[in-house]
Chain A
Amino acid sequence: DTEVTQTPKHLVMGMTNKKSLKCEQHMGHRAMYWYKQKAKKPPELMFVYSYEKLSINESVPSRFSPECPNSSLLNLHLHALQPEDSALYLCASSQDQGMGYGYTFGSGTRLTVV
């Protein structure tokens, strides 16, 4: 299995809702990442997990809460989001943190906040 699987593919949520994005990989990768991508912009790093511990938080608002339950799973919990948080949320993994050639990305979750 050489894929990163993200669910759901599309999500519409209200500003008072709580929802979660899920990311899964079975490549034995020990680093996992969340990126946010607005339309016609490059992906921006949000969080990095290394060996199931939060390694980097790029000053992301607390309405985004990451969780790494085990080495194969990465969640992003969403609460009280704003319409400007609408974006494509990408998950990636790599064998170790920082290895540039080994990033595998999922297809993303397209989030719309209404």
Chain B
Amino acid sequence: DAKTTQPTSMDCAEGRAANLPCNHSTISGNEYVYWYRQIHSQGPQYIIHGLKNNETNEMASLIITEDRKSSTLILPHATLRDTAVYYCIVKLDNYGQNFVFGPGTRLSVLP
């Protein structure tokens, strides 16, 4: 069972920042937060992950609260191609723990 809760859906205007929240209030100290997205009819795609500190890469930024009970994925300038289902996943980064997808947030980027 998923350890995260996310809004079912969100809209964002093209060119604006998309901020996708995720609650993970039961996260343990050594569990990472991962974000993947799935564009229609494709396989999921890795976006970013983090443990405690904020992270940024060429795709997005990940902001994790100090108590680590929630996080926000930021797409700084959303485009129509960012329309997808975004999954927030919490797991240990080691052997034996399955990668469990929750329902995710369906982001629609509007022109």
Smallest Cβ distance from A102 to chain B, in angstroms?
A: 7
Minimum CB distance partner of B32 in chain A: A100
Partner of A100, one of B91, B102, B104: B91
Question: Across the A-B interface, how many residue pairs have beta carbons closer than 8 Å?
Answer: 62
Known pairs A90-B44, A102-B46; list 7 more (Cβ under 8 Å).
Answer: A48-B98, A98-B92, A98-B93, A100-B49, A101-B32, A103-B99, A104-B46
A52 in contact (CB, < 8 A): no
Interface residue SS majority, chain B? loop
Interface residues of A (CB under 8 A from B): 4, 33, 41-45, 48, 56, 58, 90, 92, 96-108
Task: Please name the 6 residue pairs, one residue from A and one from B, whose CB atoms are nearest each other, closest first.
Answer: A105-B43, A42-B101, A98-B95, A101-B49, A100-B34, A105-B44
